[in-house]
């Protein structure tokens, strides 16, 4: 049972936000700073607004059952956020068709509020015939884009359009140690075109370090050979700073992870881990597995970037495609009574 | 220590940049680093900082309009506010030349950088406003300009390539009320009413150094009362959150009570009380622009730049622009109707496969009115 003393998955009450700096220190500035206008204060204004509004994050997890997806989610967010925590029946059943299950939680840390939605896909890859098992997932992702688009073109639209778009799809690769399976390649090559894919090697505690490195290298080569662009995609690096940081990440992915909800005593400290007869695997120890790297990438450094790529690239691609589709309606031809004086009408071809 | 090495992989670059970052960014980096060392944190508290980083890279923009008769000190005030020299080569027209002058719209753009934060500031000047003998509807070029920026943004937003949309919408209009009269004049009222639903109007009492404190108070009270009486919707400062600290709440209260702000501008530096200050030198004393007991310049600067710039932009986007957009769609679709029945139009997207519901809607609309308006690739049926 994870000690969640610091993180409060709260519902209604919020701990007090960090002590805000009064943005206008007029008197104290006038004396010292003769040539100071104060435009950097806009950062503080933005931060306050962001803190008030809170953030949203939608993560989808895809992979065969038994790969530790739910456990990993719980480990990442240090609380019970996966669907397993909500469902009361402990028995595992494989659904007949792939289901898409969304669970949302409001979590909060140091005054920053986040609505986290974990989208689970039970049934993926579990059947005898897995053809087209990516279709329901693809449809779900596109449906979210469609929903956002409909709201965006609405005449009376909301101030802040609720964002249900999938920001990141974590794809769990079983730790075979050899190479990607056809299913992995099919799924990732299709979905990487519409969503940010973050592949992870699940249950990595069955691989030695050499096996792990070999496996990762093979996976990277196969991704390259199949033209699969996983996050962080090279073409979306904004500038040389980004490229340098992201190049380093691209040399490390896919991260080999181990998840756990249990704590053990190791060297006098309580750590998350998996206890075996031959030793205890420490989840957050980078010498044991790469969970910490995944967490840092996903949450601490690149979370906003993942959301930005979703909204400014993947969503825009969808939108352009939709707007370019020819209308199948015969009635859709504008009638001949158009007033030629009206200058507001623009037709894009 | 071991945790730190994780970050050396990803973030050794930003750490080296920290030397040139502003205080707030350095603070956020140290929050970030402290979080990285705290195992019990998930770490998404760094999200506001991640957003920060992006904004600092991109920079900000702000469009400020100034309106009022000639000689109200508008240019000087703008230069004082942003410490710029935007009107170097300006030629002032004489009375004769002004007889045939119409209201112009002139834009000045300047890039300001301070503590690593870049601001692209656009000042929209309105020379000629209120200067003619007959000033009927002299605000029309101004409202047209504001609408044009909205229209441009609407088009861009509805278009296919939205990567680099330029936002030229006017975020705030400073309106200069002369200090010589006894309150609002008819042209002041009409101007503000023509603009108050299109832009954030911030009325100012100009050249306040010709009034005594009592006279200022009387004038402010009078103007406030008239603004209310004529139903002019000037920019409202948002309410303070209950959890703000006392200092902030106090500042906010003082600001609200001081409106309309009485300002003086100056870019000349004089010596007063042993210090170099920006001010105006008179035989009877020196008026210090940044002295809060002399005028409200500091309050205006703080409000405009340091505390409410973001809110001004938000209200422009969320309220004024949205109103324009909704009205524009209504107008476009109702223009085409035979009679003036203004039904609420609906937006539809092109469909690759016929949709039963939309098909029915289109047939229904066809029977009543035959009008389609297409903005970008989005069709609005009315």
Query: Whose CA is closest to B82, among B59, B50, B114, B34?
Result: B114
C-beta atoms of B47 and A26 within 8 A: no
Distance (Å, rounded) from C-alpha A240 to C-alpha A242?
Answer: 5
Prediction pTM value = 0.80
Distance (Å, rounded) from C-alpha B161 to C-alpha B159?
Answer: 6
How high is the pLDDT of residue A335? 34
Q: Give pLDDT < 50 ranges for chain A.
A: 1-32, 88, 327-349
Among A155, A237, A289, the strongest candidate for a mutation testing the B interface, having the largest count of B CBs within 10 A, is A155
Q: Over 80: is that where the pLDDT of B40 sits?
A: no
C-beta atoms of B24 and A43 within 8 A: yes
Q: For residue B157, give how far its alpha carbon lies from the nearest alpha carbon of chain A (Å).
A: 10
B52-95: per-residue pLDDT in tens?
888 888 889 999 999 998 888 999 999 988 888 777 667 777 77
State how beta strands B60-67 and B117-125 pair: parallel
Counting Cα atoms < 13 Å in the Cβ hemisphere of A79 gives: 21
Q: Which H or E element spans position B28? A: helix B23-37
Distance (Å, rounded) from C-alpha A22 to C-alpha A231?
Answer: 39
C-beta atoms of B332 and A238 within 8 A: no
Chain-centroid distance of CA A140 in Å reads 15
| Residue from the list A20, A42, A348 with its beta carbon closest to the beta carbon of B60 | A42
C-beta atoms of B54 and A27 within 8 A: no
Q: Does A292 touch chain B (CB under 8 A)?
A: yes
How high is the pLDDT of residue A346? 31
How high is the pLDDT of residue B27? 52
| Residue from the list A19, A238, A303 with its beta carbon closest to the beta carbon of B47 | A303
Q: Does B363 touch chain A (CB under 8 A)?
A: yes
How high is the pLDDT of residue A139? 94
C-beta atoms of B346 and A49 within 8 A: no
% helix, strand, coil for chain A, step of 5: 40, 15, 45
How high is the pLDDT of residue B216? 92
Between B257 and B363, where is the model more confident? B257
CA-based nearest residue in chain A for residue B307:
A23
How high is the pLDDT of residue B299? 92
Q: Which residue has the tokens 């299109």?
A: B198
Chain-centroid distance of CA B127 in Å reads 19
Distance (Å, rounded) from C-alpha B203 to C-alpha B67?
Answer: 10
Q: Which of residues 8-47 of B touch A (CB under 8 A)?
A: 9-11, 13-14, 17, 22, 24-25, 32, 35-36, 38-47
For B112, the token pair is: 């300001």
ipTM attached to this prediction: 0.77
How high is the pLDDT of residue B29? 53
Which of the residue ranges A32-36, B32-36, B198-202 has the most confident prediction, judged by mean pLDDT? B198-202
Query: Residue A195: which residues within 8 A CB-CB, separation 6 or more?
Result: A60, A141, A166, A168, A169, A310, A314
Distance (Å, rounded) from C-alpha B53 to C-alpha B28?
Answer: 10
| Residue from the list A26, A39, A304 with its beta carbon closest to the beta carbon of B50 | A304
How high is the pLDDT of residue B190? 93
pLDDT mean over B244-267: 85
Provide the 10 A C-beta neighbour count for residue A99: 13
For B2, the token pair is: 């071991």
Query: Whose CA is closest to A239, among A168, A314, A297, A305?
Result: A305
Distance (Å, rounded) from C-alpha A294 to C-alpha B43?
Answer: 12
CA-based nearest residue in chain B for residue A305:
B50
For A92, the token pair is: 């595992």
Q: For residue B366, give how far its alpha carbon lies from the nearest alpha carbon of chain A (Å).
A: 8
Distance (Å, rounded) from C-alpha A214 to C-alpha B153?
Answer: 52
Strand partners, A272: A263
Q: Give me chain B's average pLDDT, please.
A: 79
Distance (Å, rounded) from C-alpha B353 to C-alpha B348?
Answer: 13
State the Cα angle at B312 between B308 and B313, rounded to 5°. 120
C-beta atoms of A37 and B251 within 8 A: no
C-beta atoms of A50 and B47 within 8 A: yes
C-beta atoms of A303 and B303 within 8 A: no
B136-153: per-residue pLDDT in tens?
888 999 999 999 999 999
Q: Which of residues 26-55 of A touch B (CB under 8 A)?
A: 26-27, 30, 34-47, 49-52, 55
How high is the pLDDT of residue B246? 81
Question: Which long-range contacts link B91-98 to residues 24+ away (Cβ below 8 Å)?
Answer: B98/B70, B98/B128, B98/B131, B98/B132
The full DSSP string for B10-23 is HHHHHHHHGGGS-H
pLDDT mean over B39-48: 80
Contacts of A142 in chain B (CB under 8 A): none
């Amino acid at each position: 049972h994870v000690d969640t003393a610091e993180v409060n998955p709260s519902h209604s009450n919020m701990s007090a936000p960090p002590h805000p700096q009064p943005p206008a220190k007029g008197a104290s500035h006038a004396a010292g700073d003769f040539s100071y206008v104060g435009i950097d204060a806009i950062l503080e204004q933005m931060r306050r607004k962001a803190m008030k509004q809170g953030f949203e994050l939608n993560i989808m997890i895809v992979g065969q059952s038994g790969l530790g997806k739910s456990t990993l989610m719980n480990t990442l967010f240090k609380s019970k956020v996966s669907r397993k925590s909500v469902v009361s029946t402990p028995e595992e059943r494989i659904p007949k068709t792939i289901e898409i299950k969304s669970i949302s939680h409001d979590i909060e840390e140091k005054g920053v509020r986040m609505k986290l939605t974990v989208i689970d896909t039970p049934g993926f890859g579990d059947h005898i015939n897995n053809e087209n098992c990516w279709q329901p997932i693809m449809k779900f992702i596109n449906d979210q884009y469609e929903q956002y688009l409909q709201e965006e073109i609405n005449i009376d639209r909301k101030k802040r359009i609720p964002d249900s778009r999938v920001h990141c799809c974590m794809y769990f690769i079983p730790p075979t140690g050899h190479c990607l399976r056809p299913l992995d390649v099919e799924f990732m090559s299709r979905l990487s075109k519409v969503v940010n894919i973050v592949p992870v090697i699940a249950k990595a505690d069955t691989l030695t370090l050499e096996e792990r490195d070999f496996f990762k290298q093979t996976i990277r080569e196969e991704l390259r050979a199949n033209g699969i662009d996983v996050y962080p995609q090279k073409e979306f690096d904004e500038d040389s700073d980004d490229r340098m940081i992201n190049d380093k990440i691209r040399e490390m992915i896919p991260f080999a992870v181990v998840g756990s909800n249990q704590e053990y005593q190791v060297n006098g400290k309580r750590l998350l881990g998996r206890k075996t007869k031959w030793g205890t695997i420490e989840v957050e120890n980078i010498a044991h597995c790469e969970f910490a790297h995944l967490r840092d990438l996903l949450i601490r450094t690149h979370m906003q970037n993942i959301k930005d790529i979703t909204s400014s690239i993947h969503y825009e691609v969808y939108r352009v495609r939709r707007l370019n589709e020819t209308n199948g309606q015969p009635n859709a031809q504008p009638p001949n009574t158009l007033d030629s004086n009206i200058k507001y009408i623009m037709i894009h071809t | 220590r071991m945790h730190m090495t994780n970050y050396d992989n990803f973030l050794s670059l930003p750490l080296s940049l920290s030397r040139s970052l502003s205080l707030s960014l350095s603070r956020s980096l140290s929050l970030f680093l402290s979080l990285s060392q705290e195992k019990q944190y998930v770490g998404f508290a760094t999200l506001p900082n991640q957003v920060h980083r992006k904004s600092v890279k991109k920079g900000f923009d702000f469009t400020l309009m100034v309106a009022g008769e000639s000689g109200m000190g508008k240019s000087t005030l703008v230069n004082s506010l942003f410490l710029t020299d935007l009107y170097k080569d300006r030629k002032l027209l004489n009375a004769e030349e002004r007889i045939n002058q119409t209201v112009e719209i002139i834009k000045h753009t300047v890039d300001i950088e301070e503590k690593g934060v870049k601001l692209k500031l656009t000042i929209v000047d309105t020379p000629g406003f209120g200067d003619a003998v007959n000033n009927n509807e002299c605000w029309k070029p101004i409202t047209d300009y504001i609408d044009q920026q909205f229209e441009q943004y609407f088009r861009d937003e509805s278009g296919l390539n939205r990567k680099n949309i330029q936002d030229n919408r006017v975020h705030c209009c400073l309106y200069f009320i002369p200090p010589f009269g006894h309150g609002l004049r008819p042209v002041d009222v009409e101007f503000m009413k023509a603009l108050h639903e299109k832009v954030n109007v911030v009325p100012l009492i100009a050249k306040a150094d010709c009034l005594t404190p009592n006279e200022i108070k009387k004038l402010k009270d009078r103007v406030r009362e008239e603004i209310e009486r004529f139903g002019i919707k000037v920019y409202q400062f948002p309410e303070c959150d209950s959890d703000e600290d006392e200092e902030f709440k106090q500042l906010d209260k003082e600001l609200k009570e001081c409106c309309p702000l009485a300002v003086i501008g100056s870019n000349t530096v004089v010596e007063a009380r042993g210090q170099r200050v920006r001010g105006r030198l008179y035989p009877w004393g020196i008026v210090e622009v940044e002295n809060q007991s002399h005028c409200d310049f500091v309050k205006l600067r703080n409000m405009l730049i340091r505390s409410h710039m973001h809110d001004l932009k938000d209200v422009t986007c969320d309220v004024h622009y949205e109103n324009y957009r909704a009205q524009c769609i209504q107008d476009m679709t109702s223009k085409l109707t035979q009679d003036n029945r203004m039904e609420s139009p609906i937006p539809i997207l092109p469909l690759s496969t016929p949709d039963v519901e939309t098909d029915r809607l289109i047939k229904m609309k066809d029977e009543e009115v035959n009008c389609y308006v297409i903005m970008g690739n989005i069709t609005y049926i009315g």
